[in-house]
Amino acid sequence: MNKNPDEEKISAAREAVKLILPNQVVGLGTGSTANFALQEIGILVKNGLSIKAVPTSVKTEQMARALNIPIIDINTIQSIDLTIDGADEFTTDLFLIKGGGGALLREKIVASMSKQEIIIADSSKKVDLLGNFKVPLEVIPFATAYVMQQIEKLEGRGQVRSKDEKKFVTDQGNHIIDVNFGKISDPVTLAEKLDHIVGLVCHGLFINLVDKIIMGTKDKTLVFTK
Ligand code: A5P
């Protein structure tokens, strides 16, 4: 593994922003890797690139505004041309775990509306099987105990995420349960089961949402596609 993942993140981010065309609507991801893309986009905009952006979190929106990247209301558009986002884990068949930063719901909505979902990552994020990273579940606070019971039936071990000794609260006012399912040999089936739990607003398994993963390595970028 590279001792400096930031270099890998930056090289992946630089490759990804080359895919942006003038006048596109661009989805802006959340997290340390997506932030590098944000910085690059800020430079392109400063140099005259015209785009409109849809941020995937309040934090990303604040950063985008500080970089003078024009923002468009997601509810005024039909689709997003291209989104650049990060991941907590990915497999080369383009399955992901996302939500380490708690932005999974907006990230999944933006990914679902995107014609091209581009994931950028350092090489530590690539795994043979998902599951080292706990799967984040965004739950409405009223349903936390119920969702926890359903997760136990699926042999998951969940923990409500906390921050500064308080329950973590998402941009939508929900809570997160981080679940250890062990190694996930069949993410498609697990995702379907999670999709049917009432009160669980969004899970961090991204299935069939990604078009391309650009991974930085020590000396080059590698691309994984469908
Ligand atoms: C945010 O909720 C996440 O989905 C991030 O995209 C993910 O956690 C990757 O973050 P880093 O780029 O900081 O590892």
With contact defined as beta carbons under 8 Å apart, do 29 and 56 qualify?
yes
Two tokens, residue 162: 């906390």
Active site residue: 107, 138, 165, 192, which one?
Answer: 107
Concerning whether 8 is annotated as a catalytic residue, the answer is no
What pLDDT score was predicted for residue 4? Answer: 78
Query: What's the predicted TM-score (pTM) here?
Result: 0.96
Ligand 1 midpoint to CA 126 (Å): 14
Ligand 1 midpoint to CA 86 (Å): 5
Q: Which residues of the chain have pLDDT under 70?
A: 1-3
With contact defined as beta carbons under 8 Å apart, do 107 and 201 qualify?
no
Residue ranges in the chain assigned as alpha helix (H): 5-17, 32-46, 58-66, 104-113, 144-153, 187-195
Ligand 1 midpoint to CA 77 (Å): 25
CB-ligand 1 contact for 31 (6 Å cutoff): yes
Summarised one tens digit per residue, pLDDT across range 158-167 is: 999 999 999 9
CB atoms under 10 Å from CB of 30, counted, come to 29
Pocket test of ligand 1: the residue of 59, 98, 134 to mutate, having most ligand atoms within 8 Å of its CB, is 98
What pLDDT score was predicted for residue 222? Answer: 97
